């Protein structure tokens, strides 16, 4: 170590990192490794495969980036460098974010890092690959494109990282991941990180990892009597009052910056307009926007020009905004794992945060699923009343006035007091001034009470098939059980796939490819999840016939899915997609 390295970097020095990386970490203000970095870096530098379960925000990017950079030796061998590492990530935003982090850590090594993803002209990527890079960070779909073109050399790859592997599987990239791993050298080192560890992750690990080191790092536990880093709560709200309730909650919480997650792009656009009308500086982010638009939106959020980001899941995966304080689930995610990824946007690197979920009464079961997965109880709060809102607004005004009184630049405003003191009492002048401050702070004249939804204990619920009086509601034996009856599965010539399925109203789509095109249910799930904002858990029953398939999706997502899939190919064939004519 050189003299200009501070003792703050000693924790990383103990891990055996090269001096160039230690200087970079010191310059970035890193003081000591996080638990995932302390446990993962030594075995990775020793060449071991690794299977890590780590919540978002625990520092896992540096945990794999630093061992990758240990393998980078610019100028060795001469000619254009070939990639020594390939990092696979679920989204373009995360590809950019990981690439920027690796570049910052490896600046002194002159490490060449290239993100490759869809939505960016492939020509530029081809030019950089031809010139040579040390590390490639890619989304699975674009990586396959380059592999098929022969433009992504993998012969020299020593290390492959699957970052947020559960997200990639949710988006339908299982086949692409398998193909990419098959194309890399057999003696490569393989690293898999996932926030959750469903069975399919373990299946990939068994097939592609050799005697891996297993690491599980959760969020820091809270000692008794201490407040958790991420405060999690839920509000039960009727659908017709959700937008008003969200505005009321945001007014009371007063976040420095927040992400509001919605299920569809139409909902994103509508809610963004509503929040802007309420006085918030809101920006929309969804897959219907091109990369330039998305970059512009993120620039506004990071610079503080916008304070609310209203986004779909796919668009907001992997985002890291340092001053983010709140995450809001405007819709309860149907997959509990998605909740884990959403709230991972706050509480990062030891910072405190708030996670808020708006749930309709019918979504209580989804809240219970989240509690089981996270092993944490969600506090059910009451939507703030008008009185609560006004009290909070007064608190914020008092804080603003107190802050102004503590400043030392008040003398230049004394002329205003002197000019008014002969006409008005000083108390009245102060009241008028506070009124102006209060109005300028954006305080709304919200005077409509939002109805409470009673919190129901599970033991008070009627048994399935009965009403509160105990009467059976299922209809006559052998007859129809009404709208709650299960839909037909399969049928003549069709096959079906049992899925978790969408919540609420569903509609059926006709997709113009079928068994004759060798289409499987996972192909349809992957295509829809990859091109739209839906996750695999949002897609319901799938029936595949010889020449076409029928797919159930949430009704409010139908138009978005049809538009997004208009030019998509499935199994190499362009497929017509429309609402099924027989769909009721």
Q: What is the pLDDT of residues 492-544, one digit of tens each?
A: 344 444 444 566 678 888 898 888 888 888 888 888 887 787 877 788 888 88
Take residue 380 and report the two structure tokens written for it.
């059910």
The answer to whether 65 touches 98, Cβ cutoff 8 Å, is yes
Q: Mean pLDDT over residues 6-19, rounded?
A: 70
Same domain, 418 and 522: no
Is residue 134 in a domain? yes
Tell me the per-residue pLDDT of 428-450, one tens digit each, with 9 for 90 and over: 888 888 888 777 766 566 667 88
Same domain, 309 and 424: no
Name the domain boundary from 163, 186, 217. 217
- Looking at the fold, whether 102 and 197 belong to one and the same domain comes out as yes
Of the two residues 152 and 581, the one the predictor is more confident about is: 152
Please tell me whether residues 53 and 91 are part of one structural domain.
yes
Q: In terms of pLDDT, which residue wins out, 462 or 139?
A: 139
198 and 346 share one domain: no
What is the pLDDT, as a whole number, of residue 118?
83
CATH at residue 530: 3.30.70.330
> What is residue 491's predicted lDDT score, i.e. its pLDDT?
40
Counting beta carbons within 10 angstroms of the beta carbon of residue 16, is it exposed (0 to 12), middle (13 to 18) or buried (19 or more)? exposed
> What's the confidence (pLDDT) of residue 198?
80
Nearest to 98 by CA among 64, 129, 128, 73: 64
- 402-423: pLDDT as tens digits: 888 887 778 888 888 888 888 8
Domain limit, last residue, from 340, 366, 384: 384
Per-residue confidence band for 345, with pLDDT thresholds at 50, 70 and 90: confident
Instruction: Please compute the mean of the pLDDT values over residues 197-223 and round it to a whole number.
Output: 80
- 90 and 191: one domain? yes
**Pair (94, 116) in one structural domain:** yes
Q: Are strands 308-312 and 258-262 parallel, antiparallel or unpaired?
A: parallel
CA distance 215 to 227: 26
**Structural contact between residues 359 and 235, judged by C-beta atoms closer than 8 angstroms:** yes
CA gap 132, 300 in Å, rounded: 33
Provide the pLDDT for residue 293: 85
pLDDT at 463 over 80: no
Give percent of the chain with pLDDT exceeding 90: 29
Order the strands of the 50-54 sheet from edge to edge.
113-116, 135-138, 85-88, 159-162, 189-194, 50-54, 213-217
Backbone φ, ψ for residue 358 (5° rounding)? -100, 120
Highest mean pLDDT among 51-60, 468-477, 557-566: 557-566
Instruction: Write the pLDDT tens digit of every residue in 58-72.
Output: 788 999 999 999 999
Q: How many CA atoms lie within 13 A of 217 on its CB side?
A: 21
Domain assignment present for 73: yes
Domains contained in the chain, number: 4
Q: Which of these three, 164, 183, 217, is where a domain ends? A: 217
Domain co-membership, 62 together with 184: yes
Model confidence at 240: pLDDT above 90: no
In a domain, 175, yes or no: yes
d(CA 528, CA 523): 9
Give the burial class of 579: count Cβ atoms within 10 A of its Cβ; 0-12 exposed, 13-18 middle, 19 or more buried: middle
Domain of 371: which CATH number? Answer: 3.40.50.300
Q: Are residues 206 and 269 in the same domain?
A: no
User: Per-residue pLDDT tens for 535-565?
Assistant: 777 888 888 888 888 998 988 888 888 888 8
Domain presence at residue 445: no
Residue 97 CA to residue 351 CA, distance in Å, equals 19
Q: Is the pLDDT of residue 10 over 70?
A: no
On whether the CB atoms of residues 237 and 357 are closer than 8 A, the answer is no
Can you tell me the mean pLDDT for 246-273? 89
φ, ψ dihedrals at 466, nearest 5°: -130, 155
Query: What is the Cα–Cα distance from 266 to 558, expressed in whole angstroms?
Result: 10
Q: Answer yes or no: is 12 within a domain.
A: no
* More confident site: 478 or 239: 239
Query: Average pLDDT for residues 398-404, to the nearest whole number?
Result: 82
Q: Beta strand 353-359 with 213-217: parallel, antiparallel or unpaired? A: unpaired
- Taking a C-beta distance cutoff of 8 angstroms, is the pair 263, 366 a contact? no
**226 to each of 221, 343, 356, 410, 575, how far by Cα in Å?**
10, 20, 20, 40, 55
pLDDT of 46 strictly over 90? yes
CA 411 – CA 68 distance, rounded (Å): 58
User: pLDDT value at position 308?
Assistant: 92
β-sheet with 495-497: strand ranges across = 495-497, 542-544, 549-554, 506-511, 577-579
- Measure the CA–CA gap between 85 and 140, rounded to whole angstroms: 15
394 shares a domain with 379? no
User: Do 283 and 310 meet the contact criterion of CB atoms below 8 Å apart?
Assistant: yes
Q: Which helix (H) or strand (E) holds 26?
A: helix 19-27
More confident residue, 572 or 9: 572
Residue 464 lies in a domain: no
Structure tokens, 565: 């899939």
**Same domain assignment for residues 38 and 50:** yes
Average model confidence (pLDDT) across the chain: 80
pLDDT of residue 268 exceeding 50: yes
- Tell which residue, 36, 37, 8, 42, has the closest CA to residue 22: 8
Q: Which domain holds residue 179?
A: 33-217
Q: Does residue 482 have a pLDDT over 50?
A: no
Please tell me which of 268-272, 297-301, 342-346, 403-407 the model is most confident about, judged by mean pLDDT. 268-272
Residue 308 lies in a domain: yes
DSSP 8-state secondary structure symbol assigned to residue 58: S
User: pLDDT tens digits, residue range 110-137?
Assistant: 999 999 998 778 888 999 999 999 999 9
Q: Which of 4-13, 149-158, 160-169 has the lowest mean pLDDT?
A: 4-13
Confidence bin at 26 (pLDDT 50/70/90): confident
Q: Are residues 331 and 427 in the same domain?
A: no
Residue 277 is assigned to a structural domain of this protein: yes
Give me the phi and psi of 312, to 5 degrees please: -85, 165
Interatomic CA distance for residues 28 and 8, integer angstroms: 11
Q: How far is Cα 579 from Cα 550, in angstroms, rounded to an integer?
A: 9
CB atoms < 10 A from the CB of 528, how many? 29
């Amino acid at each position: 170590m050189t003299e200009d390295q501070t003792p703050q970097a000693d924790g990383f020095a103990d891990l055996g990192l090269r001096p160039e990386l230690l200087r970079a970490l010191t310059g970035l203000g890193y003081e000591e490794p996080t638990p995932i970095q302390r446990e993962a870096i030594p075995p990775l530098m020793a060449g071991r495969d690794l299977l890590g379960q780590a919540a978002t925000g625990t520092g896992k990017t540096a945990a794999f980036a630093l061992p990758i950079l240990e393998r980078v030796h610019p100028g060795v061998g001469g000619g254009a460098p070939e990639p020594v590492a390939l990092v696979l990530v679920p989204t373009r935003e995360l590809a950019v974010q990981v690439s920027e982090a690796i570049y910052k850590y490896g600046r002194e090594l002159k490490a060449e890092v290239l993100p490759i993803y869809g939505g960016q002209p492939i020509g530029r990527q081809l030019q950089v690959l031809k010139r040579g890079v040390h590390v490639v960070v890619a989304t699975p779909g674009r990586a396959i494109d380059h592999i098929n073109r022969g433009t992504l050399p993998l012969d020299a790859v020593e290390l492959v990282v699957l970052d947020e592997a559960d997200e990639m599987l949710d988006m339908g990239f299982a086949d692409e991941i398998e193909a990419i791993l098959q194309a890399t050298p057999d003696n490569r080192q393989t690293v898999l990180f996932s926030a959750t560890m469903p069975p399919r992750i373990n299946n990939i690990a068994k097939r592609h990892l050799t005697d891996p080191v297993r690491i599980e790092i959760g969020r820091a536990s809270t000692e008794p009597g201490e407040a958790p880093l991420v405060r999690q709560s839920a509000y039960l709200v009727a659908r017709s009052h959700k937008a008003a309730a969200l505005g009321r909650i945001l007014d009371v919480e007063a976040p420095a910056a927040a992400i509001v997650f919605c299920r569809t792009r139409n909902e994103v656009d509508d809610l963004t307009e509503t929040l802007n009308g309420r006085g918030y500086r809101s920006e929309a982010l969804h897959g219907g926007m091109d990369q330039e638009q998305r970059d512009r939106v993120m620039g506004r959020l990071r610079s503080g020009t916008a304070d609310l980001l209203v986004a779909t899941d796919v668009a907001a995966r992997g985002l890291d905004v340092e001053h983010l304080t709140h995450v809001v689930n405007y819709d309860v995610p149907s997959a509990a794992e998605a909740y884990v990824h959403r709230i991972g946007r706050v509480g990062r690197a030891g910072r405190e945060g708030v996670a808020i979920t708006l749930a309709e009464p019918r979504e209580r079961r989804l809240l219970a699923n989240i509690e089981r997965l996270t092993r944490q109880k969600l506090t059910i709060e009451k939507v703030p009343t008008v009185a609560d809102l006004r009290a909070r607004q007064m608190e914020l005004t008092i804080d603003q006035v107190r802050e102004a009184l503590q400043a030392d630049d008040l003398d230049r405003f004394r002329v205003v007091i002197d000019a008014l003191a002969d006409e008005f009492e000083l108390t009245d002048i102060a009241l008028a001034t506070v009124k102006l401050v209060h109005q300028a702070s954006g305080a709304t004249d919200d005077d409509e009470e939002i109805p409470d939804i009673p919190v129901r204990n599970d033991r008070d619920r009627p048994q399935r098939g009965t009403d509160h009086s105990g009467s059976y509601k299922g209809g006559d034996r052998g007859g129809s059980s009404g709208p709650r009856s299960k839909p037909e599965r399969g049928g003549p010539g069709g096959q079906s796939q049992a899925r978790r399925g969408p919540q609420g109203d569903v509609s059926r789509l006709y997709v113009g490819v079928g068994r004759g095109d060798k289409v499987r249910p996972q192909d349809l799930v992957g295509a829809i999840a990859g091109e739209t904002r839906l996750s695999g858990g949002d897609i319901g029953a799938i029936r595949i016939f010889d020449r076409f398939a029928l797919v159930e999706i949430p009704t409010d997502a139908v138009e978005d899915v049809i538009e997004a899939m208009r030019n998509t190919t499935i199994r190499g064939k362009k497929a017509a997609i429309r609402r099924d004519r027989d769909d009721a």
